């Protein structure tokens, strides 16, 4: 069984830090939602 985490949009550094923690915890991936804003636009700022 593989688990992914659904995360809110954040900065590049926050996303990278979260990805490292998730990988170390055994998660197989993460995804960003587009519910209130486009995630890559927020990450790019």
Into how many domains does the chain fold?
1
Using 50, 70 and 90 to split pLDDT, how confident is the model at 30?
Answer: confident
Q: What percent of the chain has pLDDT over 90?
A: 16
At residue 20's C-alpha, the angle toward residues 19 and 21, to 5°, is 90
Mean per-residue pLDDT, 16-40: 81
Q: pLDDT-based confidence at 39, cuts 50/70/90?
A: low
Query: What 3 state SS string does 1-45 have?
Result: CCCEEEECCCCHHHHHHHHHHHHHCCCCEEEECCCCCCHHHHHCC
Task: Show the domain range for 21.
Answer: 4-43
Residue 41: strand, helix, or coil: helix
What is the C-alpha to C-alpha distance for residues 41 and 34, in angstroms, rounded to an integer?
A: 10
pLDDT top residue among 38 and 16: 16
Average pLDDT of the residues in 25-32: 86
Q: How far apart, in whole angstroms, are the C-alpha atoms of residue 24 and residue 45?
A: 27
Give the global pTM. 0.63
């Amino acid at each position: 069984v593989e688990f992914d985490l659904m995360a809110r949009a954040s900065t590049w550094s926050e996303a990278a830090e979260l990805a490292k923690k998730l990988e170390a915890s055994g998660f197989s991936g993460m995804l960003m939602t587009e519910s209130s804003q486009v995630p890559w636009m927020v990450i790019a700022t």
